[in-house]
Chains A and B, each alone.
Chain A
Amino acid sequence: MSGAPIAPAVTHPPAPALPLPADWRDFFALTKPRVMSLVIFTGLCGLLAAPGHINPVLGFTTVLCIAVAAGGAAALNQWWEADIDALMKRTRERPIPAGRMDRTNARDFGVALSAAAVLVMGLAVGWLAAAILAVSVIYYALVYTVWLKPRTPQNIVIGGGAGAFPPMIGWVAVTGQITLMPVLLFLIIFCWTPPHFWALALFVQTDYAKAGIPMLPVVAGAAATRRQILLYSLVLAPLTLLPWWIGGTGALYGWVAAGLSGLFVALAFRVGLRQAGPDDAMKPEKQLFAYSVLYLFALFAALVADHLMLAR
């Protein structure tokens, strides 16, 4: 052993790990872009099908405000439901439950988007459209997310109203008034929402049950859900024909609506009148859910096409 003492090795404590900040893609994911695409589309259709003219810049601003407000409401929804989202396979990779974003950031982001959208809509387009936009955000973030969703199996029915506002907002942005046609467009989406979501809930019900959300299949059972899907589909079909019947659209929309709704009811009958075993692949339910998305896109596209043809 040598005489020189050996200095103890100096070990530095590891630098405190800085949590990675949320990527801009996380903020984008908060806005639920897939849901937003449907909202943008129906809002744009309401705007294009309305009688009258709107400057393209203001039309673009209207659709942008609808999209931004929908994104803000979605961020508020994810802020409130972060605990529930963490329990479900479909939602646990969202930015907050995955730990990539602080909860308060999501809340502030949602409030900022919603407030900015309503303010810009009011200043640029009109305060009636802005007021309906504000109601739609409050409806989705408070009435649906905070109040109804965790409390009643009818959450989807009343909460569906939030998604039904965009065509009405688009219409009112052009005309400046609420008439029967935008109310009918609202009612069409309102009655479309329950069969659309309950078809989904039938084949992902295990997840909803785990999260303690009183979805109709969880609380009332699959048979009651199937009956309700059929019931709402039977109400929806004639409702889609009303715009034609009151003279708000031409025959093109009427025939397309009749054909699309006929197929919707046929698929709903398949779901409504069957019983599924525990290992069932749930093919009719998946078909109805997939078709319901296509149905709404096609129905509103027909509304616009009809209006453009009549306007010639």
Chain B
Amino acid sequence: MSDPLPPIRPDSDPLAERARIIRERNRMLALVLVGFVVLFFAITLVKVKF
């Protein structure tokens, strides 16, 4: 089960809310991609040693 989604304030601008969600998603995607780069780099080092 994931954390509950942050409540959408009734007075919040839907467009701003949409932009916030997309911005958070992009940040998460960037983090995952950076993680992959680090992992592949580490795997390459290990494989080259073998």
A contacts, CB < 8 Å to B: 17-18, 20-26, 28-29, 33-34, 55, 57-58, 61, 64, 100, 123-124
Q: A57-B43, A58-B43 are in contact. List 10 more A-B contacts (CB 8 A).
A: A17-B14, A23-B25, A24-B24, A28-B2, A29-B1, A33-B2, A55-B46, A57-B46, A100-B5, A124-B43
Closest CB in chain B relative to A32 CB, distance in Å: 8
With the chains together, A61 CA to B39 CA distance in Å? 8
Closest CB in chain A relative to B21 CB, distance in Å: 5
20 residue pairs A–B, Cβ–Cβ below 8 Å? A20-B18, A20-B21, A21-B25, A22-B21, A23-B25, A24-B28, A25-B3, A25-B5, A26-B2, A29-B2, A33-B1, A33-B2, A57-B42, A58-B43, A61-B43, A64-B39, A100-B5, A123-B43, A124-B43, A124-B47
Count: A-B pairs, CB below 8 Å: 48
Q: Nearest B residue to A100 by beta-carbon distance?
A: B5
Q: Nearest A residue to B43 by beta-carbon distance?
A: A124
Q: How large is the interface on B (under 10, 10 to 19, 20 to 34, 35 or more residues)?
A: 20 to 34
List the B side residues contacting A58 at CB < 8 Å: 43, 46
Q: Which of B5, B28, B47 has the most chain A CB atoms closer than 10 A to its own CB?
A: B5
Q: In the complex, are the beta carbons of B42 and A21 less than 8 A apart?
A: no
Q: What 0/1 readout, one digit per residue, does chain B (1-35) give for beta carbons within 8 Å of chain A? A: 11101001000001101100110110011000000
Q: Nearest A residue to B28 by beta-carbon distance?
A: A24
Closest CB in chain B relative to A298 CB, distance in Å: 23
Q: In the complex, are the beta carbons of B43 and A21 less than 8 A apart?
A: no
Q: In the complex, are the beta carbons of A34 and B22 less than 8 A apart?
A: no
Q: In the complex, are the beta carbons of A23 and B5 less than 8 A apart?
A: yes
With the chains together, A15 CA to B22 CA distance in Å? 20
Q: In the complex, are the beta carbons of B24 and A23 less than 8 A apart?
A: yes
Closest CB in chain A relative to B25 CB, distance in Å: 5
